[in-house]
């Protein structure tokens, strides 16, 4: 065990945070009473088109665009990779986990109501994921029929512990 500690001390610790934001950000809760289960849904580029038929046979069409950070998911990855830090208190455990953070993107693009939707199993990882999401710059807000609306969305943030030799 002592030799294992010495080997551990001779290693340079490097943690990578891998964000695995998923395009499942589509079809999340939309404030203002909009329901995602109210008809046929088709994707049309960046938009979702929801077609509903009422009991009288009248059909209506609603266009939904989900919130977006900068130029899309690759920018979310880049932001998380740059800002999320592996919790120092967990380095000795070499812990890994994924925390799913839920938040509201306001009609003005601001981020609020940041909470843990699914824990990583580690308080420190969950707190770090929430901290970083709270610090996101404004997003492009969701839109319903071209009008900006507030929308809740979720973002998984993966923490992975990786070691590299000092010689690297």
Q: Where are the domains of the chain?
A: 13-29+68-162
CA-CA-CA-CA torsion for 23, 26, 29, 31, nearest 10 degrees?
A: 120
Q: How far apart are CA 129 and CA 122, in angstroms?
A: 11
How many percent of the chain have pLDDT more than 90?
Answer: 54
- Section 131-157 average pLDDT: 96
- Predicted local distance difference test score (pLDDT) of residue 120: 97
- Section 119-142 average pLDDT: 97
- Predicted local distance difference test score (pLDDT) of residue 163: 77
Q: How much is the pTM?
A: 0.72
Neighbours of 147 (CB within 10 A): 10
- Predicted local distance difference test score (pLDDT) of residue 95: 93
Neighbours of 26 (CB within 10 A): 15
Q: How far apart are CA 40 and CA 89, in angstroms?
A: 48
Tokens of residue 47, six digits? 């938009």
- The whole-chain average pLDDT of the chain stands at 78
- Predicted local distance difference test score (pLDDT) of residue 167: 58
CATH topology of domain 13-29+68-162: 3.30.1150
Lowest mean pLDDT among 36-40, 103-107, 137-141: 36-40
Model confidence at 9: pLDDT above 60: no
Q: How far apart are CA 21 and CA 24, in angstroms?
A: 8
- Section 52-62 average pLDDT: 89
């Amino acid at each position: 065990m002592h030799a294992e500690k010495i080997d551990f001390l001779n290693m340079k610790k490097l943690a990578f945070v891998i964000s695995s934001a998923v395009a499942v950000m589509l079809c999340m809760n939309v404030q203002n009473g909009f329901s995602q289960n109210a008809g046929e849904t088709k994707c049309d580029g960046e938009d979702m088109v929801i077609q509903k038929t009422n009991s009288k046979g009248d059909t209506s069409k609603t266009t939904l665009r989900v919130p977006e950070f900068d130029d899309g998911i690759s920018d979310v990855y880049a932001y998380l990779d740059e800002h999320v830090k592996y919790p120092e208190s967990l380095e000795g455990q070499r812990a890994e986990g994924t925390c799913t953070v839920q938040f509201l993107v306001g009609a003005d693009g601001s981020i609020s109501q940041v909470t843990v939707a699914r824990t990583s199993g580690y308080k420190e990882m969950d707190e770090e994921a929430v901290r970083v999401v709270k610090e996101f710059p404004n997003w492009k807000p969701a839109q319903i029929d071209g009008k900006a609306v507030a929308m809740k969305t979720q973002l998984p943030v993966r923490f992975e512990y990786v070691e590299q030799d000092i010689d690297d």
